[in-house]
Amino acid sequence: MPNSLDIVLPCYRPPQGWVDRILLTMTALSDRLAPLSLKLILVNDGSPTGVEPGDTGRLAAGLPGFEYLPLAVNGGKGAALRAGVARSKADFCVFTDIDFPYEVDSIVEVVQTLLAGQDIAIGIKDQTYYEQTPRMRRRVSRFLRWLARTFLRISITDTQCGLKGFNAKGRDIFLQTTISRYLADLEFIFLADRSPLAMQAVEVHLREGVQFSKVNIRILLTEGGNFFRVWLRSLF
């Protein structure tokens, strides 16, 4: 029987109180997912601020098996996730954002979907997400879903929800991604859609008090180029 789960968190300029949030959430998940053995893999994506030796020391003291992977250079979310996922040897792997923006119930449901036999579980945002997020972020999210549906014709268009999980087969697919930044999620779903693996969407819910960062126009332009790369692959 599967008995282990790794949770991978990419970290860059983490928000205030991030260590407390991790300890609180990991404790709750350990209780809810017993007897699964949980381990946290924290990937520091070359963050110049916000991560101190005392922070990682607290995590190591509070989380059995805690693994810290500091990257010398900021490579982007996709690159950081691949580095962390490549270190994972557990039966299942889940990745999300450093502030654990989704409810514990949602993370548990993703894991239960994997335990039920799915190779890949993809979190998708519920309707309340769009009611809680800034207007610009809503527009970008909906526009990207339209692009994914129209040009890539993938089965799950909510590619950027920051909660996904997979077993060893799904991990192999994720490690085939090449995009270094945010659209690595989209590339993952694109590749999974073209594989024989079983993939299921799981509706997830934001926890209370989540703070959203501003949309960076420069990043949007860069990701436009990455979307074009995936679209070209879809043609062949």
Kindly list the averaged pLDDT for each block of 10 residues, start to end, along the chain of length 236: 91 96 98 97 96 97 97 96 97 97 97 98 87 80 92 95 97 97 96 98 92 70 88 88
Per-residue pLDDT, 2:
73
Q: Which amino acid is at 147?
A: L
Contact 123, 110 (CB under 8 A): yes
The length of the chain is 236
Tally DSSP H helices, then E strands, for the chain. Answer: 9, 7
122/36 Cα distance (integer angstroms): 20
| pLDDT tens sequence across 37-92 | 999 999 999 999 999 999 999 999 999 999 999 999 999 999 999 999 999 999 99
Q: Which residues fall within 8 angstroms of residue 116, CB to CB, at 6 or more apart?
A: none
Contact 170, 119 (CB under 8 A): yes
Whole-model pTM? 0.93
